[in-house]
Structure 1
Amino acid sequence: MKKRVITNIVSRSFGKFASHRFHPVLQKFINISYVKLMKLDMSEFKKPKEYRSLNELFTRSLVKKRVIDIADESIISPVDSLITECGRLESDRLLQIKGMEYSVKELLKEISAQNINRILDGEYINFYLSPRDYHRYHVPCDMQVRKAVHIPGRLYPVNLRFLKKKLNLFVENERVILECLNKEGVLFYIVLVGALNVGEMVLTFEERIRTNLDPDIKVYEYEDLWLKRGELFGYFKMGSTIVMLFEKESVELRVKSKDRVKYGIEVAKFKKG
């Protein structure tokens, strides 16, 4: 059996287990055990026993909304995560981790050559979410979503150990690509990358995307879909990775590789003019 099939089946099976609501006593034990095993910081969330399944715990919402008090041109981290790599693309090449390059053109399938050319030599940031992180993702800046592309693929792990040994990991894994513009028309992309045991990548504005189920590439286009900075736009069921890519000479990064960030803090800033 092909490895692609095995990893997808494992992920679907885990997703079924995680979404199952066990007897409250057993569910409480599972939740508390997971929190202890993964060393989750639950200070911003409900108590572990209050979640009716592991999926509810994985996709937990904040009890209190975080205050975002930064400049209008600031780009916030969409997630709580580790920055595995960031910097400037070398033409169309970027890093999944030091020493492991891959191609933007291969990552951004179904995106026009004209728009890919606008990204070449631009800035990028990789956000890695471990299983212990808050799994919801939020809008990094006021933005228009012009297109969503669902690309089925493999579900390899995206942890640091696997990033160091598996070439073209982000290119081979299942992913959802969002083509976006800011208020000034700057082009950027948000790429949600699937991983082993990620049962679903959910978008709040697009229910037709069914990850780890639909075998065909699907493209969805939007006329006037605007999202506000800080707004929830979806969640991973388990940890995974987000890659952001920006039009050439459009942003200044405010983070570096190996920084830990939380949703709501500034990670980059659009250049004025």
Structure 2
Amino acid sequence: MSLAKLFALIQYPLPHHLLSRLVGALADCRLPWLKNACIRAFIRQFRVDMDEAAEPDPTAYATFNDFFTRALEEDARPLGEGLVSPADGTLSQFGAVEAGQLLQAKGHRFSMMELLGDDGEAARRYLGGSFATVYLSPSDYHRVHMPASGTLTEMVYVPGRLFSVNAATTEHVPNLFARNERLVCHFDTEHGPMVVVLVGAMIVAAIETVWAGQITPLSGEVQRVRFDTPVRLEKGQEMGRFKLGSTVVMAFSEPVTFTDALAPATKVQMGQSLGSL
């Protein structure tokens, strides 16, 4: 048995939410000596480039979470043409939505309907469309931005597990993104419907949005919020953030012509052009 498969298997019995809440409490600690030690250790371990941060002094952050969701300098991520990456990370998979299925990893597909909280009507909007998945590692910038301009119409919280979403787990845990806790954000755009799904993961203490603040942790049933008053967000504008790393899955009702240079496992930065609609 490979180490990757073993890593995936040992996650099944773990108390995902309890572990995540404990780490979340530590990440919100305001004791200067403790939060500074955690931040410095993290910078060393993951070789975080603080030169591009709006606040480059690690000790200036009130908590580890403030450091982890730090803003970048204003011009650190110029916007490219067309559809852009919503985050720094790895473009793990992208392509067509085929028969209502998205590619998770080689040999694994998952259902668009399940990803959207068993919403068949919403899933039908993306038949014949395209998707892209960006994985944010611990070392990445952890704010999520709009891949295209749009108006928010509905937000759906979907409860679930909190498996890791790294490459080892995506290759060995079926339906991973449709099993984990997630926040589904539906938008209307000039190119038709667009959905951006913020997928939680192990030790992700919370998901926030710019329009509603902190959303998770929640539990229990699917929760839907409709927006009668329009929330308009332009391409490249921040839409949310992860308190510790995770994944963004986005889908479009129209086919995307992806840039030829892209391939699965390509490193991307927020604002980088991914293709055109």
TM-score by length of 1: 0.89
Q: Corresponding residue for 1:125?
A: 132
Contact 2:27 2:35 in 1 (8 A): no
CA 1:187–1:91: 2 relative to 1, 3 Å: same
Aligned ranges for residues 54-73 of structure 1 at < 5 Å? Answer: 54-66=64-76, 68-71=78-81
1:175 corresponds to 2:182: yes
Cα distance in 2 for partners of 1:99, 1:162 equals 13
CA 1:28–1:5: 2 relative to 1, 3 Å: closer
Cα distance in 2 for partners of 1:192, 1:69 equals 21
1:220 corresponds to 2:220: no
**Aligned-residue RMSD, C-alpha:** 1.9
Match of 1:51 among 61, 65, 73: 61
Q: Corresponding residue for 1:27?
A: 35
Give CA-to-partner distance per residue, 1:140-191, whole Å, 9 cap, x none: 111011111000111111011111111111111000111112124x112111
1:261 corresponds to 2:271: no
Cα distance in 2 for partners of 1:119, 1:256 equals 22
Give CA-to-partner distance per residue, 1:173-229, whole Å, 9 cap, x none: 000111112124x1121111000000101011024x631234221101113221111
CA 1:237–1:61: 2 relative to 1, 3 Å: same
Cα distance in 1 for partners of 2:77, 2:240 equals 19
CA 1:98–1:15: 2 relative to 1, 3 Å: same
CA 1:137–1:4: 2 relative to 1, 3 Å: farther
Cα distance in 2 for partners of 1:104, 1:156 equals 19
1:81 corresponds to 2:81: no
Give CA-to-partner distance per residue, 1:45-95, whole Å, 9 cap, x none: 112222222111111111334463544xx1111100101111112211111
TM-score by length of 2: 0.88
Cα distance in 1 for partners of 2:149, 2:85 equals 13
Deviation of 1:41 after TM superposition, in Å, equals 2.0
Cα distance in 2 for partners of 1:26, 1:5 equals 26
Match of 1:116 among 123, 135, 141: 123
Cα distance in 1 for partners of 2:35, 2:203 equals 19
1:165 corresponds to which letter in structure 2? Answer: H
Aligned ranges for residues 151-162 of structure 1 at < 5 Å? Answer: 151-162=158-169
Cα distance in 2 for partners of 1:43, 1:260 equals 20
Contact 1:4 1:153 in 2 (8 A): no
CA 1:26–1:174: 2 relative to 1, 3 Å: closer
Contact 1:131 1:239 in 2 (8 A): yes
Contact 1:146 1:180 in 2 (8 A): yes
What SS does the aligned partner of 1:220 have?
strand
Q: Report sequence identity in percent.
A: 30
Give CA-to-partner distance per residue, 1:104-142, whole Å, 9 cap, x none: 1111125352x4223123211010000111000111111
Match of 1:100 among 108, 112, 128: 108
2:242 corresponds to which letter in structure 1? Answer: F
Gaps of 5+ in 1: none
Q: Corresponding residue for 1:206?
A: 212
Q: Corresponding residue for 2:26?
A: 17
1:158 corresponds to which letter in structure 2? Answer: V
Q: How many residues align?
A: 262
Deviation of 1:256 after TM superposition, in Å, equals 2.5
1:234 corresponds to 2:240: yes
Gaps of 5+ in 2: 1-10
2:225 corresponds to which letter in structure 1? Answer: Y
Match of 2:195 among 189, 195, 211: 189
Cα distance in 2 for partners of 1:97, 1:110 equals 21
1:187 corresponds to which letter in structure 2? Answer: P
Cα distance in 1 for partners of 2:221, 2:41 equals 38
1:150 corresponds to 2:157: yes
Give CA-to-partner distance per residue, 1:12-45, whole Å, 9 cap, x none: 01000011012x3443222111110122122211
